[in-house]
């Protein structure tokens, strides 16, 4: 039995590790694909070279991000079966088709047109190339649609019955795809991806503006990113609030953990700004609270009674400290993003958007905040669903594969080692590309292996011939 | 036995098709990784890499469809097979990471190109070997109890699974080299013609060895192959392999550019057919049939509608993407 528990814990750690790592890449590529489509569209519409240069600048970064997203994503498709076989057997008839639709409608679309998007600028017309870019962007969105539908079904299962061997069987596909939490989760997550991208793009723009406020590419990307932050950050907070109310209705224990409400509050519940939830003693230590604020947020009434975890069987509690803190990190960063968006509006109004250094520094520091809050939000919702894989239907402990602990331990260590080497290198390459200022005559990704040279000039002899091979676009420009 | 046209059988064929599409397409780009050590750094390696860079991601998507489709259509099979093959599958996933990122990283970081070349070679070879071992281990049988795997975490390791693994590495290398015969010219093409002799011979030897061993793994396999009058049908498979072998070597001698690749595909198609003859209608040999493992009809129908509409569309635009990058890969671009 003990051996089984170890394999369970290791499988949970391995899944959490691999899925969190993976999530970083699509969170960026969903937003970036749309951004690239907008840039290319603006270029074709206005004919301004700055948009083409920015398109090429971010395309190189997109290629790296997307590649890492693909390879880290394949792992997940197989990990359901390798590590969570009982879960797969029981939910396969429901979740399998959702994921199959994701592959059929999204992955093939993205993969099929990615090659054209990256390498095909000189092989197809401009209009067709824009079509390929849009296809990739649409693909990333469709992918989010299906995988979040699957995830939402695990959170708020609906439209199913069960058969004699314990499998979930479909009753209504619409009920399954559009489970109660799905619309909220989809909006909240896709907006998170857009916001994450805007913050990353904004930070890159800010970095280069701090060095050269006249850089046209940096100005354009910073301005676009700050518009995005100013518009999306408040909408995202609103969407998050609605998502939270939906969770309160369907998964009350998760909200109790987010709020740190171990006990019920019949006359208005406090909101803890800070505190150390003590799961053992079922109380929040060192709490700093705003009285009745939680009732105001959740019920829009200061004195509304709020149930606590004391109304839930202790065996069904999530791990409160993790959910409590992940939620606070997400919300705290969300309000900082709102502040950044508002400050940028002030600076824009005063005509100081590109040279007000405190704003540029703030935007730079906020660069990684989207990634952090995406992961924090993910942790909030996933750990908050525990101890179930399918909420109130299947326990995590009974979902796991019959594996030996040493097997899972070995694979977990291998994943850690490989991910840190590979994705560490990938992140370093992305940062290296970001460190270069956007400039006129930006090369296409395919030209990257070549030494920096003016566009349109065939590489000089003496250059490593292996590098010159890569210059597929050269003949079309000369 | 239920008729050939029931939903479960249709889905077995769709998944077999996804596996074949995967083997065909990722086979040649994994093969190029396996052959990388035989190519000189510089022009040869870069051209070989360029010939698959625009399409490898789409190729690998068939692997996701195979895995996702198995979970969706035959969840019980997915739940039994994947834990049983834990070690080779995890090795494959990690190896695919190494080779997948190498496509971008080797251009991005010339100072460490050697490292990423090694990662491409190592990743491609291990992925191929692990896929072969997975197949071999499945063929030799998996211990099942109730609805789950009942063996240990080293059960997959056997001389037979290693044999299939090595054969698949050689077979993928053959696909890779014959792909390059089509896509390149000059010195690299000549080099590939030479490699194709050895790899063709190796692949045929692998097919022969695996075919000879398979009927003795399970009594049922022997039955499927040699019972009368079925043998009249099954005997066509080795016969076709022999014909294909002859055409293959003739086409190499005559320098027909397209035939070696097409014949290499035929070897794989025949191999898959042989696999089907051995296993059908079992998905886990002698333990779980496709009907035992299948999801309820409502799941299969829901997906069949999507697959029926989308797979032809996917094949169309995948074909279009290949068409855009048609012709020879070289340092002047694709002409």
Nearest to A404 among B148, B152, B296 (CB): B152
Q: Quick one: pLDDT at residue A456? A: 33
pLDDT for A446: 53
pLDDT tens digits in sequence order for chain A, 478 residues long: 445 558 899 999 999 999 998 999 999 999 999 999 999 999 999 988 899 999 999 999 998 898 898 889 889 888 998 999 999 999 999 999 999 999 888 888 888 888 888 887 777 888 889 999 999 999 999 999 999 999 999 999 999 898 888 899 999 999 999 999 999 999 999 999 999 999 999 999 999 999 999 999 999 999 999 999 999 999 999 999 999 999 989 999 999 999 999 989 888 888 998 989 988 888 888 988 888 888 888 888 888 888 988 899 999 999 999 999 999 999 999 999 999 999 999 999 998 999 999 999 999 999 999 999 999 999 999 999 999 999 988 899 898 888 888 889 899 999 999 999 999 999 999 999 999 888 887 776 654 443 332 333 333 333 333 333 333 333 333 2
pLDDT score recorded for residue B330: 61
- What are the tens digits of pLDDT across the range B106-151? 888 888 888 999 999 999 999 999 999 999 999 888 888 888 888 8
CB contact under 8 A, A403 and B333: no
List the single residue in A64, A77, A112 with the smallest CB-CB distance to B68.
A77
Q: Are strands A160-162 and A271-278 parallel, antiparallel or unpaired?
A: unpaired
Q: How far is CA A278 from CA A284, A321, A383, A427, B207, in A?
A: 6, 7, 16, 36, 63
* Residue A420 touches chain B, beta carbons under 8 Å: no
Helix (H) or strand (E) segment spanning residue A394: strand A394-395
Tell me the backbone φ, ψ of residue A134, rounded to 5 degrees: -65, -40
Helices and strands, counts by H and E, chain B: 14, 4
Is the CB of A407 less than 8 angstroms away from the CB of B86? yes
Q: What is the DSSP code string of B110-179?
A: GGGHHHHHHHHHHHHHHHHHHHHHHHHHHHH---EETTEE-S-TTTT-SHHHHHHHHHHHHHHHHHHHHH
* pLDDT value, residue B326: 78
Query: How far apart are the C-alpha atoms of A394 and A86, rounded to whole Å?
Result: 10
Name the B residues in 290-329 with CB < 8 Å from any A CB.
295-296, 298-299, 302-303, 306-307, 310-311, 314, 317-318, 320-321, 324-325
Tell me the pLDDT tens digit for each residue of B181-218: 998 888 888 888 999 999 999 999 999 999 888 888 88
Phi, psi of A439 (to 5 degrees): -145, 160
| Chain B residues 83-102 within an 8 A CB cutoff of chain A | 83, 86-87, 89-90, 93-94, 96-98, 100-101
Cβ–Cβ pairs < 8 A, chains A and B: 276
- Between chains, do A403 and B86 touch, taking CB under 8 Å as contact? yes
Give me A142's structure tokens.
């469709």
Q: Any CB–CB contact under 8 A between B68 and chain A? A: yes
In this complex, the residue of A93, A107, A123 whose CB is nearest that of residue B299 is A93
Neighbours of A307 (CB within 10 A): 18
Question: What is each CA distance from A299 to A160, A184, A460, B139, B306, in whole angstroms?
Answer: 30, 18, 70, 59, 42
| Residue A230 tokens, joined | 């100013």
Tell if the CB–CB gap between B108 and A94 is shorter than 8 Å.
no
Percent of chain B with pLDDT over 90: 35
How far, CA to CA in Å, does A132 sit from each of A116, A119, A136, A474, B320? 6, 11, 6, 21, 12
Predicted local confidence at residue A30, as pLDDT: 93
- Strand A394-395, strand A388-390: pairing: antiparallel
In the predicted structure, residue B165 carries a pLDDT above the cut 80: yes
Beta bridge partners of A274: A288
User: How many other C-beta atoms can be found within 10 angstroms of the C-beta atom of residue A339?
Assistant: 14
- What residues 429-468 of chain A have any CB closer than 8 A to a CB of chain B? 429, 432-433, 448-449, 464-468
> Cβ of A313 under 8 Å from any chain B Cβ?
no
Contacts B60 to A, Cβ<8 Å: 70, 74, 111
Q: Chain A 79-138, CB below 8 Å of chain B: which residues?
A: 80-83, 85-86, 88-97, 99-105, 107-116, 118-120, 122-124
> Which residues, in sequence order, are CB contacts of A80 under 8 Å at separation 6+?
A87, A88, B71, B78
Of A176-190, A313-327, B1-15, B44-58, the range with the lowest mean pLDDT is: B1-15
Average pLDDT along chain B: 87
């Amino acid at each position: 039995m003990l051996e089984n528990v170890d394999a369970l814990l290791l499988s949970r750690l391995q899944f959490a590790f691999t899925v969190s790592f993976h999530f970083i890449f699509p969170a960026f590529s969903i937003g970036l694909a749309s951004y690239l489509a907008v840039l290319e569209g603006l270029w074709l519409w206005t004919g301004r070279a700055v948009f083409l240069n920015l398109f090429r600048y971010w395309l190189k970064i997109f290629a790296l991000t997307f590649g890492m997203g693909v390879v880290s994503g394949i792992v997940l498709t197989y990990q359901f079966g390798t590590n969570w076989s009982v879960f797969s057997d029981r939910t396969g008839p429901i979740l399998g088709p959702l994921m199959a639709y994701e592959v059929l409608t999204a992955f093939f679309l993205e993969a099929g047109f990615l090659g054209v998007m990256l390498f095909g600028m000189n092989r197809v017309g401009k209009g067709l190339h824009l079509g390929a870019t849009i296809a990739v962007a649409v693909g990333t969105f469709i992918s989010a649609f299906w995988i979040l539908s699957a995830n939402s079904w695990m959170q708020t299962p609906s439209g199913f019955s069960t058969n004699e061997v314990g499998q979930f069987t479909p009753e209504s596909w619409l009920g399954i795809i559009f489970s109660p939490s799905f619309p909220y989760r989809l909006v909240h997550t896709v907006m998170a991806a857009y916001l994450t991208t805007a913050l990353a793009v904004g930070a890159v723009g800010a970095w280069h503006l701090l060095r050269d406020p006249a850089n046209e590419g940096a100005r354009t990307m910073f301005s676009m990113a700050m518009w995005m932050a100013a518009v999306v950050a408040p909408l995202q907070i609103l969407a998050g609030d609605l998502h939270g109310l939906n969770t309160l209705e369907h998964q009350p224990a998760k909200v109790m953990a987010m709020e740190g409400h171990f006990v019920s509050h019949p006359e208005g519940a406090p909101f803890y700004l800070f505190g150390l939830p003590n799961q053992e003693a079922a109380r929040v230590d060192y709490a700093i609270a705003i009285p009745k604020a939680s009732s105001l947020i959740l019920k829009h009434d200061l004195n509304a009674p709020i149930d606590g975890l004391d109304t839930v069987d202790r065996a069904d509690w999530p791990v409160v400290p993790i959910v409590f803190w992940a939620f606070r990190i997400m919300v705290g960063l969300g309000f900082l993003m709102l502040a950044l968006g508002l400050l940028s509006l002030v600076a824009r109004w005063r005509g100081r958007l590109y040279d007000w250094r405190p704003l540029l520094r703030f935007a730079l520091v906020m660069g990684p905040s989207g990634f952090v809050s995406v992961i924090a939000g993910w942790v909030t919702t996933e750990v908050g669903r525990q101890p179930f894989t399918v909420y109130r239907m299947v326990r995590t402990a009974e979902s796991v594969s019959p594996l030996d602990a040493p097997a899972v331990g070995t694979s977990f260590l291998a994943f850690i080692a490989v991910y840190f080497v590979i994705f560490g290198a990938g992140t370093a390459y992305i940062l290296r590309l970001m460190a270069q200022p956007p400039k006129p005559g930006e090369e296409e990704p395919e030209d990257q292996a070549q030494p920096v040279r003016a566009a349109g000039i065939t590489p000089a002899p003496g250059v490593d011939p292996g590098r010159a091979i890569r210059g597929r676009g050269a003949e079309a420009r000369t | 036995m239920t008729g050939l046209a029931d939903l479960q059988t249709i889905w077995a064929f769709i998944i077999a098709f996804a596996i074949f599409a995967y083997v065909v397409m990722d086979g040649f780009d994994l093969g190029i990784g396996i052959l990388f050590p035989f190519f000189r750094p510089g022009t040869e390696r870069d051209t070989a890499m360029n010939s698959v860079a625009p399409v490898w991601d789409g190729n690998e998507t068939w692997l996701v469809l195979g895995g996702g489709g198995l979970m969706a259509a035959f969840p019980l099979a997915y739940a039994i097979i994947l834990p049983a093959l834990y070690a080779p599958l995890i090795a494959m996933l990690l190896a695919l990471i190494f080779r997948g990122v190498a496509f971008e990283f080797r251009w991005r970081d010339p100072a460490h190109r050697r490292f990423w070349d090694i990662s491409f070679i190592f990743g491609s070879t291990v992925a191929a070997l692990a896929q072969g071992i997975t197949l071999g281990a499945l063929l030799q049988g998996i211990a099942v109890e109730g609805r789950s795997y009942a063996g240990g975490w080293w059960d997959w390791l056997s001389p037979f699974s290693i044999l299939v693994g090595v054969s698949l590495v050689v077979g993928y290398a053959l696909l890779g080299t014959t792909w390059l015969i089509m896509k390149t010219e000059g010195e690299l093409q000549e080099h590939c013609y030479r490699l194709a002799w050895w790899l063709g011979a190796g692949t045929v030897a692998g097919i022969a060895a695996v075919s000879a061993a398979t009927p003795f793994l399970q009594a049922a396999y022997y039955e499927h192959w040699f019972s009368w009058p079925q043998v009249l049908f099954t005997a066509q498979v080795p016969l076709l392999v022999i014909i294909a072998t002859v055409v293959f070597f003739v086409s190499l001698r005559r320098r027909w550019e397209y035939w070696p690749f097409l014949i290499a595909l035929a070897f794989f198609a025949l191999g898959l057919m042989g696999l089907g003859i051995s296993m059908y209608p079992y998905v886990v040999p002698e333990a779980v049939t496709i009907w035992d493992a299948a999801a309820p009809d409502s799941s299969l129908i829901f997906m069949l509608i999507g697959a029926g509409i989308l797979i032809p569309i996917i094949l169309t635009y995948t074909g279009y993407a290949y068409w855009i990058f048609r012709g020879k890969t070289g340092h002047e671009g694709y002409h």
